[in-house]
Structure 1
Amino acid sequence: MNSVKSCISFIFLLLTYTQATYSQEVVPDSTGTIVIGEVSVEGNHKTRTGIILREMAIKPGDAIPAALLKEKLEVDRRKVINTNLFITVELLAKPNPDSLRTDILILVKERWYLIALPVFQLADRNFNEWWYERKRDLSRTTYGAYFSYGNVTGRADKLRLLAEFGFIPKFEIAYTLPYLDKAQKTGITIGTSFSINKTTAYRTWRDKLQYLNSEDVNRRRFYTYVSLTRRNKYYAFHSVDLRWSQSRISDTIAILNPNYMLDGRRRQQYVQLTYTFSYDKRDNVQYALQGQSFSAQISKLGILPCDDVNTLYLYGSYRKYVPLGKNFYFNTGMRGRVSFPKRQPYLQTIGLGYRNDLVRGYELYVVDGQDYALLKNELKYRLFSVQKHLSFIPIRQFNTIPLAAYINTFADAGYVKNSYPEFSNTRLGNSMLYGAGAGLDVVTFYNIVTRFNITLNAKGERRFFFNVSREF
């Protein structure tokens, strides 16, 4: 769905992945230890110095074995680059004038924070569904404008505005302030969204979405939310999200699928409370090659007695990235969800087939269910990774261009438990799903990853799939 929008971002935006610099001039003392002197920052024209230093484990006065300094500098550099505030980050070590300590200079190049882009994207789940199933129908597109103002006050905060028209008109506004308190551990996000649908997916039948085509509005949705985040340690995050959601559908949708909101209802509103814990220690959140990430989530839809939904969701995910040497990399991961009770509105019965929750090879299918499990494995080889500085471009935020390419092979497996298969006449639910293939990933400007994959699934279907996304 975001493929064309990401392509536009590809033209306007730049991001890079850099390596730390370690000065060989630093000399340890007689015990082989380096004592850290001043830690300073240069190049942060807008970002407050404290936002950068908050990511640093290395502090003035630390005594570090000389053999570990380079590694510790690289770990801290990764944390600074993962703030998504900078194009490049370098950590330079040099002797202090007193010759007894070693100073650390953090040299950054800031991004271009004000982004205003035209929006032209597909309304379908992904590019492949639009290409194969919707016959490249250009009427199934949305257009409009996207505005993002990052680092508004220099504290890594962000204001986002979205106005879309066309197939699915949508309007969104959100503001995020990640460091609300003086300790820089608590953050807040507030936002709201409104969308309407004329052509609407009213049910899933034989693992394909079925649409009602109409000139009338068949669905309206509004939600507003506030999220609090807490980051006590560098890699551990806690968040609590409270939101109020309201949806309305037409009589036609309620008649075609009485289970859409259960019992033929046309209106659904509820308060949702979600707690999430995540641990993210990847080398690069845009396209990880080393490290691991873990998350667990509990979400309750229906807090008030008057709510129209009463559902509990439990999520979990884990992913491990392992460099094998000689430009080879491996990653494996699993994720899953269980929910209660099992009889749920169609609107909330989401299994595999959306976003990255799919077995590769089944991009054209939606497998609904109350519970699911997913396993993904990937082996890749880096063909090249380069970074070019174009001195003839005067704007510093746009004159560093990265480009990397990886060939990969993958094998996935998944299972969706559907407690009411008769509602969707599913063929893929309640059975194992297997998919494998090979492809090429191209990683470049501002987190954009372009994927070209050839896949084979357990149904014996072979297809070429293309996808453009932004990795976070």
Structure 2
Amino acid sequence: MITQKWPIAGLVLTVFLLSSQIMSVYAQTDSSQSVIVRSVTLEGNVKTKDRIILREMTLHVGDSVRLADLPGRVQWDQRNINNTTLFVTVDVTTQITPAADSTQLAQLDLTVVMKERWYIIAYPVFDLADRNFNEWWYDRGRDFRRVVYGGRLSYRNVTGTNDRLQVVIERGFLQRTILSYSKPYIDKAQKIGLRVDVSYATNKEIPYRTQFDKWVYTKSEDVLRERAYASLTLTNRRGLYHYHTFDTRYTRNTIADTVARLNPDYFLDGRTRQQFLAMSYNYRYDRRDNVVFPLVGKLFTAFVGVSGILPSDNFNFLDLSASMTRYWSMGGRFYGAGSLRARATWPTRQPYFNLRGLGSSIDMVRGYELYVIDGQRTAIWRNSVRYQLLNVRKQLNWLHVRQFNTVPIAVYLTAFGDAGYVSSTVAEQYQSRLANQLLAGTGLSVDIVSFYNLVMRFSGTVNAQGNKGFFFNLAKEF
């Protein structure tokens, strides 16, 4: 039973400071002077085309740069190339040749050394159907009948232009097939990108309502829900850090009569079919040192989505959200992070299937990993202080596959404090104990970051209701 008491005197609140610099000494050179870029040499990009790498750099042949600004410029160019997630390692070195006389500028030679990833990964799927590992472990009795199995093919950098082909075939608790292809640039200026997705999924066991902030499931020998969609996404990247995304998606969902009888509000008014055309726009300003596990930088996102554009559509929905996150160095091995995120949806009366508040990996107040809190408006404030315990790069010389014999490993001890709120008009209907009140959680975690974008997090938390927990989360992107 959840009780209304505070187990802690206060939450960990992060003080926002911004400090990031790279130390470098250029002997016998005045840092107020400028140098001119004479050459940019790329090494190690066996498949990746040069233009994809140069697109990420601010320093090009013929550019002049003040020596005082050079370390920061080089550092961010290295980070930008690394954030393409095409390489295991990226190193940038500089060499300055003094000018022959005072009427000329010194010359700068840049060398970028990369080690490419293994781009074709076909692997078996053995995954959990639940929202996260913790829900499966604590609430679903570690039931292996709730697993998803099958195979996935992820083919990155198909043509050497950072494009991606993905094929997913999953069976078991969930039957799903996905086909996706994305190409970041289809124009000569490398600004416009395109993505196509097609998906079809069926379930014989689904959550049909929420009770006490937990999903309640029903199952059958027959299919209870079908979901299908096709989408076309257009992207526009301005400069290095500004991303615009325009998405058009047609969705068709159906449920069995059994589900509609159990919860007539599943699609509203006892309907068994939901079909609609949706269009959305997303803006992202992303200047982080590492997109997988950022330590320094800024991220801002804004989203607007409209569903129910066609006259035949039976679902109308407006979705607005925005978030801003800041990461900064606190000196030494300490790093801070603070994030604000808000979301609002209309109309007030929404199908249960589309009604989501807090409970996903993105919209989560840490300490409430086991709860799903439904509502039409949400707000989250997340704060962290990290201490770097370890940051090394292991070279496995005995492994003669270059894409796998370099293993970066970083370990962080993180203290965090979060707060959130869900505004809900269905709290009484679904017997929610957490909606329409302040949510707060704090705790400690050990975060392990390794190659191929693998992040493992072990967390101990306590929330405002006095519930304590130990949770494990895994994030991985190919």
The alpha carbon displacement at 1:70 in A equals 1.7
Q: Which moved more, 1:102-111 or 1:137-146?
A: 102-111
Q: Which residue pairs with 2:67 in the alignment?
A: 66
Q: Which residue pairs with 1:209 in the alignment?
A: 215
1:71-92 deviation per Cα after TM superposition (whole angstroms, max 9, x unaligned): 2111111001101111111112
Question: What letter corresponds to residue 365 of structure 1 in structure 2?
Answer: Y
1:265 maps to which of 271, 275, 298: 271
2:198 maps to which of 178, 186, 192: 192
Provide the secondary structure at the position in 1 that maps to 2:403: helix
Q: Which residue pairs with 2:413 in the alignment?
A: 407
Distance 1:59 1:157 in 2: 24
1:163-188 deviation per Cα after TM superposition (whole angstroms, max 9, x unaligned): 00000011101000001100000000
Q: Which residue pairs with 2:88 in the alignment?
A: 87
Q: Which residue pairs with 1:5 in the alignment?
A: none
8 Å CA contact 1:435–1:455 kept in 2: the answer is: yes
Aligned length: 453
Q: Which residue pairs with 2:455 in the alignment?
A: 449
Q: Which residue pairs with 2:255 in the alignment?
A: 249
8 Å CA contact 2:36–2:64 kept in 1: the answer is: yes
Q: 1:209 to 1:37 in 2, by over 3 A?
A: same
Distance 1:22 1:163 in 2: 49
1:163-215 deviation per Cα after TM superposition (whole angstroms, max 9, x unaligned): 00000011101000001100000000001111000011111111110000221
Q: 1:206 to 1:32 in 2, by over 3 A?
A: same
1:307-342 deviation per Cα after TM superposition (whole angstroms, max 9, x unaligned): 111110001011111110120111010111111111
Q: 1:26 to 1:59 in 2, by over 3 A?
A: farther
The alpha carbon displacement at 1:24 in A equals 6.7
TM-score, normalization by structure 1:
0.93
8 Å CA contact 2:321–2:341 kept in 1: the answer is: yes
The alpha carbon displacement at 1:355 in A equals 1.9
Q: 1:432 to 1:371 in 2, by over 3 A?
A: same
Question: What letter corresponds to residue 268 of structure 1 in structure 2?
Answer: Q
Moved over 6 A (4+): 20-27
Q: 1:27 to 1:46 in 2, by over 3 A?
A: farther
8 Å CA contact 2:24–2:71 kept in 1: the answer is: no
The alpha carbon displacement at 1:26 in A equals 7.8
8 Å CA contact 1:287–1:471 kept in 2: the answer is: no
Distance 2:434 2:182 in 1: 40
Q: Answer yes or no: is 1:303 the counterpart of 2:309.
A: yes
Question: What letter corresponds to residue 397 of structure 2 in structure 1?
Answer: S
Distance 1:331 1:21 in 2: 20
Provide the secondary structure at the position in 2 that maps to 1:231: strand
Q: Which residue pairs with 2:325 in the alignment?
A: 319
Q: Which residue pairs with 1:10 in the alignment?
A: none
Task: For 1:311-350, list aligned pairs within 5 A.
Answer: 311-350=317-356
Distance 2:338 2:477 in 1: 17
Distance 1:360 1:24 in 2: 43
The alpha carbon displacement at 1:22 in A equals 9.8
Question: What letter corresponds to residue 70 of structure 2 in structure 1?
Answer: L
Unaligned runs of 5+ in 1: 1-19
Q: Which residue pairs with 2:5 in the alignment?
A: none
Question: What letter corresponds to residue 139 of structure 1 in structure 2?
Answer: R
Q: Which residue pairs with 2:12 in the alignment?
A: none
Q: Which residue pairs with 1:236 in the alignment?
A: 242
Q: Which residue pairs with 2:39 in the alignment?
A: 38
8 Å CA contact 1:261–1:345 kept in 2: the answer is: yes
Q: 1:248 to 1:27 in 2, by over 3 A?
A: farther
Q: Which residue pairs with 1:76 in the alignment?
A: 77
Q: Which moved more, 1:93-102 or 1:148-157?
A: 93-102
Q: 1:23 to 1:296 in 2, by over 3 A?
A: closer
The alpha carbon displacement at 1:29 in A equals 7.4
Q: Answer yes or no: is 1:151 the counterpart of 2:157.
A: yes
Q: Answer yes or no: is 1:102 the counterpart of 2:102.
A: no
Distance 1:140 1:117 in 2: 20
Q: 1:357 to 1:471 in 2, by over 3 A?
A: farther
Q: Answer yes or no: is 1:142 the counterpart of 2:125.
A: no
Q: Which residue pairs with 1:50 in the alignment?
A: 51
Unaligned runs of 5+ in 2: 1-20, 101-105
Question: What letter corresponds to residue 57 of structure 1 in structure 2?
Answer: T
Q: 1:160 to 1:264 in 2, by over 3 A?
A: same
Distance 2:99 2:42 in 1: 20
Q: Which residue pairs with 2:385 in the alignment?
A: 379
Provide the secondary structure at the position in 2 that maps to 1:463: strand
Q: 1:27 to 1:183 in 2, by over 3 A?
A: farther
Task: For 1:115-194, list aligned pairs within 5 A.
Answer: 115-194=121-200
Distance 2:94 2:357 in 1: 50
Provide the secondary structure at the position in 1 that maps to 2:74: helix
Provide the secondary structure at the position in 2 that maps to 1:331: strand
Q: Which residue pairs with 2:424 in the alignment?
A: 418
Distance 1:316 1:208 in 2: 26
The alpha carbon displacement at 1:68 in A equals 2.1
8 Å CA contact 1:220–1:247 kept in 2: the answer is: yes
Distance 2:25 2:442 in 1: 46
What is the aligned-residue RMSD (CA, Å)?
1.9
8 Å CA contact 2:31–2:68 kept in 1: the answer is: no
* % identity of equivalent residues: 45
Distance 1:21 1:125 in 2: 40
Provide the secondary structure at the position in 2 that maps to 1:180: coil
The alpha carbon displacement at 1:422 in A equals 3.1
Provide the secondary structure at the position in 1 that maps to 2:238: coil
Distance 2:24 2:406 in 1: 23
1:128-154 deviation per Cα after TM superposition (whole angstroms, max 9, x unaligned): 100010010000000000101100001
